[in-house]
Amino acid sequence: MSLGVRLEALSAGYGSAAPVLELTDLEFPPGSFTALLGPSGCGKSTVLGLVAGFVRPTAGRVTAGSEPVRGPGPERGVVFQHYALFPWRTARGNVEFALKRLGLPRAERRRRALAALAEVGLAEGAQKYPAQLSGGMQQRVALARALAAEPEVLLMDEPFGALDALTRTRMQSLLRELWQRRGTTVLFVTHDIDEALALAGRVIVLGGSPGRVLADHAVPAGPPDPDLRALIARHLGSE
């Protein structure tokens, strides 16, 4: 199951300062994988915050499926760059804790936590504490925590930005696999053009102040297309 996401004539800002984002209509169909690229400060995290329900738009509308977004909800999972795990809980404990707000019975929380940890290749590490896990493994726990709630939309904010190159490539493959298996709608923020092209079926470049859409490209399946890469690099460079 997955939900489409629609942004309609969105404007957003913080406090009384000038708007940081002014978007025309954007639609993310159910099961699509979209990368959002753009320089620091252009509003990428704000877009995810709006869809997650952490940020309220000052104008326009955000819809997930047929419902307007009014706040955070379990059908929209979030993974940040900094894993934000509780250091005093084990990997399994962290995932179980996140399931508490779903009101699931204890046994079901445990079953789901172990299944999600196995899905991200961490069955062995379930009893370990974050300090006993590498950065890549901690990010797997964060991913398992989001997946265990069985979200229909997955919002990822530079999730692999702090990982070394090899770990990052492994996490990218894992994410592609998970996406192919689950068909979840993914919005993936990155400032790495190659990561965007490796993962997504569509790349949107944001930029300007307030942030807006500078380019919106479908990424054809198959080997990387150097011309498309150059085109997107030009849009990024035009900032």
**What residues line the site for ligand ADP (CB under 6 A)?**
14, 20, 38, 40-46
> CB of residue 14 vs ligand ADP: minimum separation in angstroms?
3
> CB of residue 112 vs Mg ion: minimum separation in angstroms?
29
For Mg ion, the closer of residues 55 and 120 by Cβ is 55
Identify the three-state secondary structure at position 62: strand
For ligand ADP, the closer of residues 20 and 236 by Cβ is 20
> Which amino acid, residue 9?
A
Non-local (6+) Cβ contacts of 173 within 8 A are: none
Choose the contact partner of 43 out of ligand ADP, Mg ion, none; CB within 5 to 8 A by kind: ligand ADP
For ligand ADP, the closer of residues 41 and 68 by Cβ is 41
* Beta-carbon count within 10 A of 24 CB: 12
Choose the contact partner of 40 out of Mg ion, ligand ADP, none; CB within 5 to 8 A by kind: ligand ADP
> CB of residue 159 vs Mg ion: minimum separation in angstroms?
11
Six-digit token string for 189: 């923020």
CA distance 207 to 199: 21
Choose the contact partner of 196 out of ligand ADP, Mg ion, none; CB within 5 to 8 A by kind: none
For ligand ADP, the closer of residues 44 and 168 by Cβ is 44
CA distance 164 to 20: 31
Helices (H), the chain: 44-52, 91-99, 106-119, 135-148, 165-182, 193-199, 226-237
**Interface residues toward Mg ion, by CB under 5 A:** 44-45
